Amino acid sequence: MAELPTHFYLASASPRRAELMQRMGLRFEIRPTHVEEDDSGSQGPEVMVLENAKLKASTLSELEPEALVLGSDTTVAWDAHVLSKPIDLADARRMLHMLSGRRHTVYTAVSLYWQAGGLAHTFVERSDVRFQQLDDARIDQYFARVNPLDKAGAYGIQEGRELIIEHVEGSVENVMGLPIQALEQTLRELGFDFWN
């Protein structure tokens, strides 16, 4: 086994993931990968986020084999529908109407790669979210506070949640894009210490 990695890279441009890792007190660098993600959900939401997270982590790990790399992907799924980022505000409104008054699931996959140490470890966390009943006026109010276009399912939980969300079962941070409780447990179990 190689010596433990000295660098920890986040293979994502997501400010929310970086913020959550900072909140955990981790030392890391942001190194986004430019890969072609599959947002079709044709194999189901869990497989989709797993494959996307592995693709991000493995791509950067090939360039940085001595570093520990974290790739992650999040999606919102209701019934058989995978809700990726909306293409415009009309699409975002359609998604929120679809989720209104209903329960849906947020899946986040985390993939940890360390090529020099032969590590490829991936897991998926799920949280269930129930929305309030939403009418157009409430959605307009939400859009005035939150940009829905860069978020899977057209919503985020860290701002304006009182306008749309009734209840969350599971990790709230998972809904934000990174299940920090499960990540901390996994890093400790694997013997990595990147805490400040």
How buried is residue 153: exposed, middle or buried, by Cβ count under 10 Å (0-12/13-18/19+)? buried
Strands 68-78 and 81-83: antiparallel
How buried is residue 112: exposed, middle or buried, by Cβ count under 10 Å (0-12/13-18/19+)? buried
Strands (E), 61-141: 68-78, 81-83, 103-114, 119-131
Distance from C-alpha of 187 to C-alpha of 71, rounded to nearest angstrom = 14
- Residues with a catalytic annotation lie at 73
